[in-house]
Amino acid sequence: MQDTIQDPSMFVLHAPEGAAIPLVCDSPHSGVRYPGDFGHAVPRAVLRAAEDTHVEALWGAAPALGATLVEALFPRSYLDLNRTLEDIDPALLATPWPTPLAPGEKTRIGSGLIWRTVKNQPIYDRLLSVAEVQQRIARCYQPYHQALARAVQDTHQRFGAVWHLNLHSMPNNAYERLQIRSERPLADFVLGDRDGSTCEPAFVALVEEYLRGCGYTVARNDPYKGVQLIARIGQPALQRHSMQIEIRRPIYMDEDTRERNAGFESVRQDLTGLLKTMAAYFESHPSVRRSSAQA
């Protein structure tokens, strides 16, 4: 594997502005800068269906309220930051991968570390070399994960506790894309904590109650429980809390054009209010060091 390449065009870390709070947010799938070496065979408009477009803007008030926000700039169809490094489809490769692979369920449906399909259309008309996949990992995956891990660790060290929000959006036909049959309509927001294993229940309840109070429908772990990022970060027993938040795209944008719709500003304002509610929650939380919170 090549050494990690620090490329400022791949992600940006927005540091807290003013007094910090023990919150780290990351938006791994909202990037819209398509690298020149992508070599995709489908139109860009098709690829864009994989984007969590505008999610970083919906949560854009986070740094001003004292949180850290890590934002990927490249698209998830190029490399998916919410997968393990072993979650690679060997059928995509021109030659065998040098170490053992462990493709998961997401790879089966075409969206592993390196996506195979978007909207049931093959992304490539070629096989990928091991070297180009390794290059993507070195330029995109490793620096992002290192920056996020450092932000989580530094925040935890400073405050004695940390809360992490893994920020996403979901297509209106999420159940169909995931090949899941459901009698329930897709909720406006889905909170994922891997069935209660990655975040304290009181914080999940706080977020759910706030969103319901704004008039949104909210579900937990249905159909998204959270994948690699919150599984690694979330350790509630160590005061490391991690939750995935999915937003149903039509409530803030047009899924076909990717343009913000009339609901965007309302959703953004509601999420800014949610961030303020979180800040108040941290201020009174018994695990947060008061001296750090006031620094």
pLDDT by residue (tens digit) across 143-195?
A: 999 999 999 999 999 999 999 999 999 999 998 988 888 888 999 999 999 99
Distances (CA, A) of 255 to 3, 114, 155, 286: 38, 22, 35, 42
Q: Which domain holds residue 31?
A: 11-85+121-293
Given a cut of 70, is residue 263 above it in pLDDT? yes
- The per-residue pLDDT for range 184-239, each reduced to its tens digit, is 899 999 999 999 999 999 999 999 999 999 999 999 999 999 999 999 999 999 99
Continuous H helices in the chain: 44-47, 55-58, 105-108, 130-136, 142-159, 174-177, 201-213, 228-233, 264-283, 290-293
pLDDT for the residue 247: 98
Q: Is residue 191 part of a domain?
A: yes
Query: Does position 253 have pLDDT exceeding 70, yes or no?
Result: yes
Three-state DSSP class for residue 232: helix
Q: What pLDDT is stored for residue 158 in this prediction?
A: 97
Tokens describing residue 266: 């309302």
Indicate the SS3 state at residue 169. strand
Q: If we measure between CA atoms, which residue out of 246, 243, 230, 227 comes closest to residue 189?
A: 246
Q: Which residues make Cβ contacts (< 8 Å) with residue 90, sequence separation at least 6?
A: 96, 97, 101, 103
Number of domains observed in the structure of the chain: 1
Q: Is 190 helix (H, G, I), strand (E, B) or coil?
A: strand
Query: pLDDT at position 3, please?
Result: 33
Give one word for 18, left, alpha or beta, with left for phi > 0 and alpha for psi -120 to 50.
left
Q: Is the CB of residue 252 less than 8 Å from the CB of residue 267?
A: yes
Residue 295 pLDDT class (50, 70, 90 cuts): very low
Comparing CA positions, the residue from 230, 274, 271 lying closest to residue 252 is 271
Q: Which residues contact 273 (CB under 8 A, 6 or more apart)?
A: 210, 214
Secondary structure class of 206 (helix, strand, coil): helix
For 125-142, letters b (16+ CB in 10 Å) and e give eeebeeeebebbbbbbbb
pLDDT band, residue 18 (cuts 50/70/90): confident
The predicted-structure confidence for 76-135, as pLDDT tens digits, reads as follows: 999 999 999 999 999 999 999 999 999 999 899 999 999 999 999 999 999 999 999 999
User: Considering the domain boundaries, does residue 266 fall inside one?
Assistant: yes
DSSP label of 237: G
pLDDT at 294: 47
Report the pLDDT value the prediction gives residue 8, as an integer from 0 to 100. 65
Q: What percent of the chain has pLDDT over 70?
A: 96
In eight-state DSSP terms, residue 129 is: P
What CATH number did the domain enclosing 242 receive? Answer: 3.40.630.40
Q: Is residue 104 part of a domain?
A: no
Q: Is residue 159 part of a domain?
A: yes
Q: What does the alpha-carbon distance between residue 225 and residue 194 come to, in Å, rounded to a whole number?
A: 5
How much is the pLDDT for 276?
98
**109 part of a folded domain:** no
Domain-located, residue 114: no
Residue 1 has pLDDT above 50, yes or no: no
Which of the two residues, 8 and 1, has the higher pLDDT score? Answer: 8
pLDDT at site 239: 98
pLDDT at 256 over 50: yes
Confidence of residue 40 (pLDDT cuts 50, 70, 90): very high
pTM, to two decimals = 0.94
Residue 99 is assigned to a structural domain of this protein: no
Q: Is residue 102 part of a domain?
A: no
What interhelical angle do 264-283 and 201-213 show, nearest 10? 140
Structural element, H or E, at residue 247: strand 240-248
